[in-house]
Chain A
Amino acid sequence: MPSVRFRLNGVEMDVDADPDRSLLDILRGQLGMTGSHFGCGAGECGACNVMIGDRAVAACDTPLWSVADKDITTIEGLGTPERPHPLQRAFITEQALQCGYCVSGILMSAAALLKRNPKPGSREVKEALDGNLCRCGSHNRMVRAVLRAADEMAAE
């Protein structure tokens, strides 16, 4: 089996697997990292979004071979309760979810946005999150939370 190298949450990885398998499948299966969620498996919902460089991509729609030598961040690498990312803090403050299944993908889309554009307006936030579906209707709180995180990051 060929192996594919990449950096995952800052750690060098070497994964032996069929390079045509999806990144999501590798993350959740082989690597046991279940923070990135399966929603549709077809690039249509954003539940599985991870960050590659400063772009959010659907891991279910990303073949393993395509991430060779790339820098991947998943929700597990975004922050921890001890060292939360400002987005995670803001989602708690704004109580910005209901069931929360969509949230890890949404946090990754938002994190990618803030990397590219640290001072987005609400229209830009909505655009950046437009590929993420939320069935519970928590959208407005999430947009507020992203704007709050951006403010906090600017103040830091």
Chain B
Amino acid sequence: MNQPAPSPSSPKLPVNLAANPKLSSWLKFSPQGQVTVSPGKVEIGQGIVTALAQIAADELDIDISRVQMIRASTAASPNEGVTSGSLSVQQSGRAMRHACAEVRQIFLQLASERLGVDIASLGVEDGTISGPGNVTTSYWELAEEVSLDRDATPDVKPKPATRRALAGNSVQRIDIPDKVFARARFIHDWALPEMLHGRVLRPQNARAKLTGLKDGNVRTIAGFVAVVRDGSFAGVVCETEHGAEAALQALRKGAVWADGEPLPDESDLAAFLKAAPSETTIIDKRTASSPGAKKRTLRRQYTRPYIAHASIAPSCAMAQWNGDRVHVWTHSQGVYLLRTDLALVLKLPAENIIVEHMEGAGCYGHNAADDVALDAVLLAKTTGGRPVRVQWSREAEMSDAPFGAAMAIEIEADLDAAGEIIDWRHSIWSNGHVARPGRAAQPALLAGFEVENPFPRMISTNPPQANGGGSDRNAVPLYDFPSWQIESHRLTTMPIRTSALRTLGAQGNVFAIESFLDEIAAERGEDPVAFRLRHLTDERAKDVIRAAAKRARWKPEKQPGIGYGIAFARYKNTGAYCAAVAEIEGAGDIRVRKLTLAVDVGEAINPDGVINQIEGGAIQATSWVLKERVRFDRQRITSTNWTEYPILRFSEVPEVEVELIQRSEMDPVGAGEAAHGPVSAAIANAVFDALGVCVRHLPITRENIIAAMEQAP
């Protein structure tokens, strides 16, 4: 990567376009009046496909109904890495906008030659190009003459925000009608011709090795096709799904497992996390020019448990072999990344593998989507070219998929005689937050750790701070404390598998920082809103806090049994600004009555889509904070169903109000992860307001409230 840096004045291509410069890989025109647009990003329930269609329609000056969005596939789409909530609109949108702007320009150039008029005098309306003297042509007329098999150039400038017709307006999501009318859009609902069904046998005890397998009466099951075994990986293939389930049960009876690997003590996560071997990084350090005089030090410890992605659909994939080539259908967040790992496991060149995206249920990060794809590929090896569909069970989804990492966070604040913060020290102990496929020399796929010649189990790492960090995400204070040190201890063993879950470490860090701030403000007798505003200099930050406070009529009169809390963060310190006010009631079982949020995501391309994501994030965060915690004993994960791993229900969901601060001149940033941290902390602060007790260990259950009361302060 030794390219000379472009001089700051020369225009640059958006990163994803520079990596995939061929314009025809982004869009194609048909003479029939359609444009097919192929982003490398995928729909994960966040509405990105609609936002990208809006951007394309805007830049090309066509009606959005002419845009057909193509699902990402390694056979044709640009490689845009992974689709994870926060960066997708930003990166893909910029590339899409630029590519469309250039394509428009190419058409105008040709139109100007054909029509014999100056290019500057041409305009486009819904694809029809017209100029002075009523001369017209159109994209569709010119489509066959224009070749887009050329590379994008950096010189074309997309339209300014003020001239966009669609971006900034709420349009209906294009995927919603199919979902409401149950037209097969989910991978789960598809059937390929001749398709078979597979199921994979996995141990109950963590990482137990398969030492024996008798297939007993498996072969007598109607429609039986094959038993597959490769080391500790085993599975069955049947003509029907029902048969595959029965065969799996029969196979389980004949399986002999060695002891598994021990799991940590669930009742003392902090002790486990702090004692485990780890690697320490100083994330950030600020030194005061004239240090104040320390009067005393406050020290607080916070934890957040392992959290499950707990998608409402168990993961599913289909695979079909043709000689030494394989086609995979998946709801992975990154088709190219998955392909890289499949190539590693299969020892095949990547060109032999096509990975095609189909929608799954909301995933919220790296769940089992990629794992099940390898499962399907391995089982499909035995079927003589017939495709195999594999679907995990609810139990597997809740125990074998990666979890969001547990965290222990310790913060020390030095206060001066006036109670002002003069030094701040924040330390995190946690497994890394990312073990996604396609990024390392070894694969990250579950079956890859189980086959006869297994790959070593991948230990999660953290992205660098420049990319927002992992465990340390949002650990660097957004406030103007005069000095601080932020330190991260990443575990180098991983008894419980972790990988990316929405916000990575940000939810834990914001919960800790914002809880501690309320305690310090309370000691000073200072209003938490005023305290925060006094420590912030960024006006966009102050604006969301003021907007949320105003909308929630901060701070309502005290009533018995009711509490109010506020919290703020700018996601990743560089992304969306979000402030939340929570209103809670209860003394043991906490109920969140209302959440009021203010958000600034820069330019909101589809404002209603942004609000939808913020509402969803706020409700999911409420669920995490009040209820969620992966349970385990020393052998195995025990929270394998919705009774053991409850999530928020309709009757428990708070009212949510969102105020969107539109800034059309600012680059759009993602909304999907903005609310989790602030909402988590706002609820904790509201509990503190109502009960006078700081619950520092999530989730905020009756049990943890009682424990906090016993330990107070």
Contacts and interface: CB of A to CB of B under 8 A. Distances in A.
A98 B186 contact: no
B651 A126 contact: yes
A100 B188 contact: no
Contact of A29 (B44, B184, B240, B361): B240
Contacts of B361: 99, 101-102, 135
A107 B180 contact: yes
A130 B649 contact: yes
A29 B615 CA distance: 36
A29 B242 contact: yes
Contacts of B188: 34, 37-38, 101
A95 B647 contact: no
B186 to A, nearest CB: 6
Interface string B581-602: 0000000000000000000000
Interface SS, A side: loop
A84 interface: yes
Nearest to B613: A98
Contacts of A97: 45, 176, 179-180
Given A98-B45, A130-B649, A135-B361, A141 B615 contact: yes
B656 interface: yes
Contacts of A125: 650
B612 A133 contact: no
Contacts of A136: 45, 312, 362, 616, 620
A152 interface: no
A8 B485 CA distance: 65
A37 B313 contact: yes
B313 A47 contact: yes
B91 interface: no
Given A95-B173, A133-B642, A134-B312, A140 B362 contact: no
Given A44-B643, A99-B361, A25 B242 contact: yes
Interface in B151-209: 172-173, 175-177, 179-182, 184, 186, 188-191
B236 interface: no
Given A84-B181, A99-B44, A126-B651, A137 B618 contact: yes
A136 B617 CA distance: 8
B418 to A, nearest CB: 42
A38 B608 CA distance: 29
A102 B310 CA distance: 13
Interface string B332-372: 00000000000000000000000000011110100000000
Contacts of B651: 126-127, 130
A116 interface: no
B181 A88 contact: yes
Contacts of B446: none
B438 interface: no
A102 B241 contact: no
A100 B608 contact: no
Interface string B615-653: 111111001000000000000000001110001111101
Contacts of A132: 650
Contacts of A76: 182
B546 interface: no
Contacts of A57: none
Interface in A10-27: 21, 25
A41 B396 CA distance: 13
Nearest to B47: A98
A45 B186 CA distance: 18
A100 B314 contact: no
A103 B361 CA distance: 11
A91 interface: yes
B136 interface: no
A102 B188 CA distance: 13
Interface residues of A, number: 52
A63 interface: no
Contacts of A102: 312, 361
B474 interface: no
B176 A135 contact: no
B180 A137 contact: no
Contacts of B46: 98
A45 B647 CA distance: 10
B180 A103 contact: yes
A139 B616 CA distance: 8
A32 interface: yes
B655 interface: yes
A143 B312 CA distance: 19
Contact of B312 (A34, A95, A133, A140): A133
Contact of B650 (A25, A42, A95, A143): A143
Contact of A34 (B175, B179, B184): B184
B662 interface: no
B311 interface: yes
B612 A95 contact: yes
Contacts of B647: 133, 135
A73 interface: no
Interface in B248-303: none
Contacts of A41: 393-394
B461 interface: no
A34 B656 contact: no
B180 to A, nearest CB: 5
Contacts of A127: 650-651
B391 interface: yes
A75 interface: yes
B180 A91 contact: yes
A45 B642 contact: yes
Nearest to B657: A140
A28 interface: yes
A37 B179 CA distance: 11
A95 to B, nearest CB: 6
Contacts of B44: 99
Most buried by A among B179, B642, B649, B655: B179
Contacts of A153: none
Interface in B44-87: 44-47
A137 B425 CA distance: 35
A138 B616 contact: yes
A121 interface: no
Contacts of B393: 41
A91 B392 CA distance: 29
B252 to A, nearest CB: 16
A42 B180 contact: no
A104 B650 contact: no
Nearest to B363: A99
A35 B180 CA distance: 10
Given A34-B184, A44-B643, A95-B172, A39 B616 contact: no
A101 B642 contact: no
A101 B180 contact: no
Interface of B: 44-47, 172-173, 175-177, 179-182, 184, 186, 188-191, 240-242, 310-314, 359-362, 364, 391, 393-394, 608-609, 612-613, 615-620, 623, 641-643, 647-651, 653, 655-656
Given A42-B642, A135-B362, A137-B618, 8 more contacts: A45-B642, A98-B46, A98-B612, A99-B361, A126-B653, A133-B642, A136-B45, A139-B653
6 contacts: A21-B242, A39-B394, A40-B394, A95-B609, A98-B46, A100-B176
